[in-house]
């Protein structure tokens, strides 16, 4: 497989982490490390994966680029567009929708003065819709970066936005 020239490279710390991750897999199954390596790349790029980073993982694992994209586009925890430093994801799948996630999303839009899938002008906060976060019993559920918040009420949105803007 021919290698693609990429701008993205793991920094030294992440190169070591990537090596450790690969050690967990049998040599002929190193392609299975695509998921943790995408997470590592996303962490290095402050929450999103650009084209170059996906190509880099493809090269790094010697896996066809389409295979890496299949994973990166399937799981909603990977962002293929730039996100804010604080990335708010509102679950709008049916169980959360039934208990008001649409209103929660609208309240965030109003409070942040942005539309869904947009970033505030200062780049600090972005807002997104997301599929089920696996905590349906406690909906509406939102995720801010890696933290889950459950049973969200409209008033909570105001407090959350206020805290994020501090
Ligand atoms: S539907 Fe929202 S967490 Fe499952």
pLDDT, one tens digit per residue, over 149-166 is 999 999 999 999 999 988
Is residue 102 scored above 90 in pLDDT?
A: yes
Ligand 1 atom with the shortest distance to the CA of 93: 1
**Tens of pLDDT along 115-153?**
999 999 999 999 999 999 999 999 999 999 989 999 999
Task: Please report where in the chains the tokens 């801010």 appear, as a residue.
Answer: 144
Rg over alpha carbons for the chain, rounded to the nearest Å, is 18
Between the CA of 15 and the centroid of ligand 1 the distance, in Å, is 35
Q: What is the CATH number of the domain that holds 135?
A: 3.40.30.10
Contact indicator for 91, 44 with CB cutoff of 8 Å? no
5-57 residue pLDDT tens: 779 999 999 999 999 999 999 988 999 999 999 999 999 999 999 999 999 99
Question: Is 53 within a domain?
Answer: yes
CATH number of domain containing 52 = 1.10.10
For ligand 1, the distance from its centroid to the CA atom of residue 97, given in whole angstroms, is 8
Whole-number pLDDT of residue 27: 85
What mean pLDDT is reported for the chain?
A: 95
87, two tokens: 């990335």
For residue 62, is it within any domain? yes
Contacts of 124 (CB under 8 A, 6+ apart): 84, 85, 86, 164, 165
In a domain, 27, yes or no: yes
Residue 4 forms part of a structural domain: no
How do beta strands 86-91 and 125-130 pair?
A: parallel
Domain that holds residue 143: 86-165
Q: How many domains, the chain?
A: 2
68 with 107, same domain: the answer is no
Taking the centre of ligand 1 as the mean of its atom positions, its distance from the CA of residue 95, in whole angstroms, is 6
Per-residue pLDDT at 1 exceeds 70? no
> How many angstroms separate the alpha carbon of residue 136 from the centre of ligand 1?
4
Closest alpha carbon to 91 in 140, 137, 154, 138: 140
List, chain by chain if needed, residues with CB within 6 Å of any ligand 1 atom. Answer: 91, 93, 95-96, 132-136, 139, 141
Atom of ligand 1 nearest to the CA of 140: 2
Does 93 lie in the same domain as 66? no
In a domain, residue 23? The reply is yes
Q: Is residue 81 part of a domain?
A: no
- Under the phi-then-psi rule, with left for phi > 0, alpha for psi from -120 to 50, and beta for the rest, what region is 123? left
Judge if 161 and 97 occupy the same domain.
yes
Question: Which atom of ligand 1 lies nearest, measured to the CA of 92?
Answer: 2
Please name every residue paired with 148 in a beta bridge, in sequence order, or none if there are none: 143
Is 159 a member of any domain?
yes
**Domain edge (last residue) among 74, 94, 115:** 74
Residues 70 and 92 in one domain: no
Q: Are residues 134 and 70 in the same domain?
A: no
| Structural domain includes residue 1 | no
């Amino acid at each position: 497989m021919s290698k693609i020239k990429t701008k993205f490279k793991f920094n030294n710390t992440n190169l070591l982490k990537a090596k450790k991750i690969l050690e967990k897999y049998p040599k002929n199954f190193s392609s299975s490390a695509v998921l943790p390596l995408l997470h590592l790349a996303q962490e290095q790029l402050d929450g999103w994966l650009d084209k170059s980073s996906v190509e880099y993982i493809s090269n790094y694992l010697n896996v066809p680029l389409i295979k890496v994209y299949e994973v990166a586009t399937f799981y909603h925890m990977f962002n293929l567009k730039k996100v804010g430093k604080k990335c708010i994801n509102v679950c709008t799948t049916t169980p959360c929708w039934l208990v008001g996630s649409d209103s929660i999303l609208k309240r965030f839009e109003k409070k942040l003065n942005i539309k869904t899938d947009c970033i505030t002008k200062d780049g600090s906060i972005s807002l997104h819709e997301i599929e089920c976060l696996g905590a349906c019993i406690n909906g509406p559920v939102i995720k801010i970066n890696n933290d889950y918040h459950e049973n969200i009420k409209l008033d909570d949105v105001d407090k959350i936005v206020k805290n994020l803007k501090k």
